[in-house]
Amino acid sequence: MSAGPRTLLVGCGNMGRALLDGWLRGGVLAPGQVTVLDPVATPPEGVAVVRAPPAGPFDLVVLAIKPQQFAALAPALAPLAQDALVVSILAGTDCGQLAARLPGARVARIMANLAAAFGLSPVALHAAPGVLSGADRELLDRMGAALGPVEWLADEDLLHAVTALGGSGPGFVYRLLEAFAKSGAALGLEPQASAAMALAMVRGAAELAARSGPIEDSRNFATLTAKVASPGGTTRAGLDELEHGDAADRLIAATLKAAHDRSVELAREA
């Protein structure tokens, strides 16, 4: 296996570290070929860390900083990114904005979540037509596959939806887990037992759905619901409450729309 591209990872916070762990675990990057630019990070063993922009050149530059930090860092990064493949996780910062501040770079965007660290994140990729070489696209395919199932998006605007569902979605799931745990405790379970049961329940339900055949659309999940909800049973009683007035659909739709709209706002602020 080759040593991998000479890589600069700009930012190694929660998301940057998850990406790095996933790529190292998947063999896409080699520790000795990676330099992390971050004022406080402690990267994995074998990965160099610097507190100021280093000397190049680099084949691959990964932007894993907050969108608000990009404008200030771009002048120092531009020389390092020239003639490099730049992969950005910056929500709301489009390829045109990235390319304008990093002239000479070949720009792509990737969206994933923290489960990328162990290969279980949804992954979306986008690049403007004609920008990437065949080698770039092959590398991005490998980078994405190391993090989870990959979707290439032709329409960059769809990354706002990916951000809402795939990126922010885990936060919403954790909030639902919290509600399950609290509600189980309110019914008399010990708080620790209720929280552990909630986690095991959601983990098992997701695994069962994943093993139930190819996912076509939301009807796959409706079919599983029907298998669990016997007429007149306990599950049906709970679902009647959850579905009253389309409450579940309306709540989740409003939640994702709020996240989506915030991503659009960030794009306008960039």
Structure tokens at 265: 């706002």
Residues 193 and 259 in one domain: yes
Distance CA 248, CA 127 (A): 35
Structure tokens at 50: 């610097």
* 231 has a pLDDT exceeding 80: yes
Structure tokens at 181: 């745990």
Residues 145 and 184 in one domain: no
Q: What is the mean pLDDT of the chain?
A: 94
Residue 44: partners with Cβ closer than 8 Å, 6 or more residues away: 20, 21, 24, 31
Question: What does the pLDDT read at residue 210?
Answer: 92
Question: What does the pLDDT read at residue 56?
Answer: 76
Question: What does the pLDDT read at residue 92?
Answer: 81
Residues 27 and 91 in one domain: yes
Q: Is residue 227 part of a domain?
A: yes
Q: Is residue 2 part of a domain?
A: no
Residue 103: partners with Cβ closer than 8 Å, 6 or more residues away: 78, 82
* 195 has a pLDDT exceeding 70: yes
Tally of domains in the chain: 2
Residues 50 and 107 in one domain: yes
Residues 12 and 133 in one domain: yes
Distance CA 10, CA 77 (A): 9
Residues 205 and 244 in one domain: yes
- In this prediction, residues 233-246 reach a mean pLDDT of 95
Distance CA 158, CA 180 (A): 31
Beta-carbon neighbour count of residue 244 at 10 Å?
A: 9
Distance CA 35, CA 58 (A): 9
Range scoring the smallest mean pLDDT among 2-11, 15-24, 154-163: 2-11
pLDDT in tens, 35-73: 999 989 888 899 999 999 898 789 999 999 998 899 999
**pTM across the whole model:** 0.89
**Among 97, 129, 156, residue at a domain's last position:** 156
Q: Is residue 63 part of a domain?
A: yes
Residues 121 and 49 in one domain: yes
Distance CA 11, CA 37 (A): 6
Query: Which of 48-52, 89-93, 189-193, 266-270 has the highest mean predicted lDDT (pLDDT)?
Result: 189-193
Question: What does the pLDDT read at residue 1?
Answer: 39
Residue 225: partners with Cβ closer than 8 Å, 6 or more residues away: 239
Closest by CA position to 47, among listed 60, 57, 32, 58: 32
Residues 107 and 21 in one domain: yes
Residues 208 and 244 in one domain: yes
Contact status, residue 96 vs residue 86, Cβ threshold 8 Å: no
Closest by CA position to 142, among listed 165, 160, 119, 113: 119
Q: Is residue 250 part of a domain?
A: yes
Residue position matching structure tokens 């990964």: 62
- In this prediction, residues 133-150 reach a mean pLDDT of 96
Which residue range is the domain that position 146 belongs to? 7-156
CATH of the domain at 258: 1.10.3730.10
Residues 145 and 16 in one domain: yes
